[in-house]
Chains A and B, each alone.
Chain A
Amino acid sequence: MELAIRRQLVPRLIGAVPRAGWVALAALGLVAFVILPALHLLAPAGSRLHVSAYVITVGGKIMCYAIVAVALDLIWGYGGILSLGHGLFFALGGYAFGMYLMRSIGREGVYQADLPDFMVFLDWKSLPWYWRGTDHAPWAFLLVVAVPALLALVFGLFAFRSRIRGVYFSIITQALTFAAMLFFFRNETGFGGNNGFTDFKRIMGFSVTAPSTRVVLFVLTAAMLAATLVATRYLVRSKFGRILTAIRDSESRVMFLGYDPLPYKLFAWTVSAVLCAVAGALYVPQVGIINPSEMSPGNSIEIAIWVAVGGRGTLVGAVVGAALVNLAKSWFTAAFPEYWLFFLGLLFILVTRFMPEGVVGLGRRLLGGRPA
Chain B
Amino acid sequence: MRALSYLVLAALCARAAPAFALDEGVLSKLASEDSDDKIAAIRHLAAVADPEGLRVLRALSREELQVAGGRLVIADGDRVLDAATGREVRPAPEARDAITINNRVRRELGGALAALRLFDPDRGVRLAAAQELMRIASPATEVLLERALEKETDREIRTLLSLARAEVGLKAPDPAARLGAVRALGASGSPRVRSLLAPLLDERAEADATVRREARKSIDAIDARVARAELLGRVFSGLSLGSILLLAALGLAITYGVMGVINMAHGELLMVGAYATFAMQGVFERFLPQARGWYVVAAIPAAFVAAALVGVLMERTVIRFLYHRPLETLLATWGVSLVLIQAARMTFGAQNVDLANPSWMSGGIDLGASVVLPWNRVVIIGFSLGVLAVVWLLMNRTRLGMFVRAVTQNRAMASCVGVSTGLVDTAAFGLGAGIAGLGGVALSQIANVGPDMGQAYIVDSFMVVVLGGVGQLAGAVGAALGLGVVAKFLEGWAGAVIAKIAVLVFVIVFIQKRPQGLFAVRGRCIEG
Binding site for B on A (CB under 8 A): 76, 80, 82, 84, 155, 158-159, 161-164, 166-168, 170-172, 174-176, 178-179, 182-183, 185-186, 250-253, 297-298, 301, 304-305, 308, 338-339, 341-342, 344-349, 352-353, 356
Contact = CB atoms under 8 A, between A and B. Distances in A.
Contact of A341 (B338, B455, B504): B338
A162 B511 contact: yes
Contacts of B327: 76, 80, 82, 166-167, 170
Interface string B231-263: 000000000000000000000000000001010
A341 B341 contact: yes
A166 B318 contact: no
Given A159-B512, A175-B507, A186-B497, A352 B322 contact: yes
Given A175-B459, A347-B335, A338 B508 contact: no
A199 to B, nearest CB: 25
Nearest to B470: A168
Interface string B486-516: 0000000000011011001101110111010
Most buried by A among B334, B501, B509: B334
Given A167-B327, A170-B330, A252 B528 contact: yes
A163 B527 CA distance: 11
A174 B331 contact: no
A336 to B, nearest CB: 11
7 contacts: A162-B511, A162-B515, A252-B527, A338-B342, A342-B338, A345-B339, A345-B340
Contact of B330 (A82, A186, A356): A82
A253 B526 CA distance: 11
Contact of A349 (B336, B498, B507, B509): B336
A342 B504 contact: no
Nearest to A341: B342
A324 to B, nearest CB: 16
Interface string B329-356: 1111011111111110110000000000
Interface string B65-97: 000000000000000000000000000000000
A328 B52 CA distance: 74
A352 B338 CA distance: 15
Contacts of B264: 301
B466 interface: yes
Contacts of B342: 338-339, 341-342, 345
Nearest 4 CB-CB pairings of A with B:
A348-B335, A345-B338, A345-B339, A341-B342
B50 to A, nearest CB: 57
B500 A182 contact: yes
B508 A348 contact: no
Given A252-B526, A341-B341, A171 B322 contact: no
B462 interface: yes
Contact of A174 (B336, B459, B527): B459
Given A168-B515, A172-B466, A182-B497, A348 B504 contact: no
A28 B262 CA distance: 39
A251 B334 CA distance: 27
B501 A176 contact: no
B339 A251 contact: no
Contact of B332 (A82, A172, A250, A348): A348
Contacts of A164: 511-512, 515
B240 to A, nearest CB: 21
A179 B332 contact: no
A176 B506 CA distance: 11
Contacts of B208: none
A352 B327 CA distance: 10
- Say what secondary structure dominates the interface of chain B: helix
Nearest to A158: B512
B326 A167 contact: yes
A185 B500 CA distance: 12
A159 B515 CA distance: 9
B321 interface: yes
Interface of B: 260, 262, 264, 318, 321-322, 325-332, 334-343, 345-346, 455, 458-459, 462-463, 466, 497-498, 500-501, 504-505, 507-509, 511-513, 515, 526-528
Given A82-B330, A168-B515, A179-B501, 11 more contacts: A159-B511, A162-B515, A166-B327, A175-B508, A182-B501, A186-B497, A338-B342, A352-B328, A353-B332, A356-B325, A356-B328
Nearest to B260: A167
Given A176-B504, A252-B527, A252-B528, A349 B512 contact: no
Nearest to A340: B342
A166 B462 contact: no
**From DSSP, what is the main secondary structure of chain A's interface residues?**
helix
B262 A348 contact: no
Given A166-B326, A170-B330, A175-B507, A342 B339 contact: yes
A80 B528 CA distance: 12
A230 to B, nearest CB: 27
Contact of A344 (B338, B455, B498): B338
B331 A305 contact: yes
Given A341-B341, A348-B334, A348-B338, A172 B262 contact: no
Nearest to B322: A352
Contacts of A186: 497-498
A252 B528 CA distance: 6
A348 B511 CA distance: 29
Contacts of B526: 252
Nearest to B346: A338
Nearest to A80: B327
Most chain B CB within a 10 A radius of its CB, from A163, A186, A301, A356: A301
B335 A345 contact: yes
A44 to B, nearest CB: 43
A183 B497 contact: yes
A278 B432 CA distance: 42
A71 B321 CA distance: 28
A196 B320 CA distance: 42
B528 A251 contact: yes
B462 A171 contact: yes
B159 to A, nearest CB: 41
B254 to A, nearest CB: 15
Given A167-B330, A345-B335, A348-B332, A176 B262 contact: no
B331 A352 contact: yes
Nearest to A178: B459
A183 B501 contact: yes
A183 B455 CA distance: 18
Nearest to A338: B346
Contacts of B455: 298
A262 to B, nearest CB: 13
Contacts of B329: 352
Given A166-B326, A166-B327, A305-B331, A345 B515 contact: no
A179 B506 CA distance: 11
B508 A353 contact: no
Given A182-B497, A345-B335, A349-B335, A172 B511 contact: yes
Given A158-B512, A185-B497, A345 B337 contact: yes
A299 B462 CA distance: 18
Contact of A250 (B331, B340, B512, B528): B528
A179 B508 CA distance: 11
Contacts of A170: 262, 327, 330
Contacts of A176: 504, 508
A111 to B, nearest CB: 26
B342 to A, nearest CB: 4
B500 A179 contact: yes
Nearest to B526: A252
Contacts of A174: 459, 462
Nearest to B458: A297
B459 A308 contact: no
Given A338-B346, A341-B341, A348-B335, A168 B511 contact: yes
A298 to B, nearest CB: 8
Contacts of A183: 497, 501
Specify which of B325, B328, B335 lies most central, judged by the most chain A CB atoms within 10 Å of its CB. B335
Contact of A301 (B334, B336, B498): B334
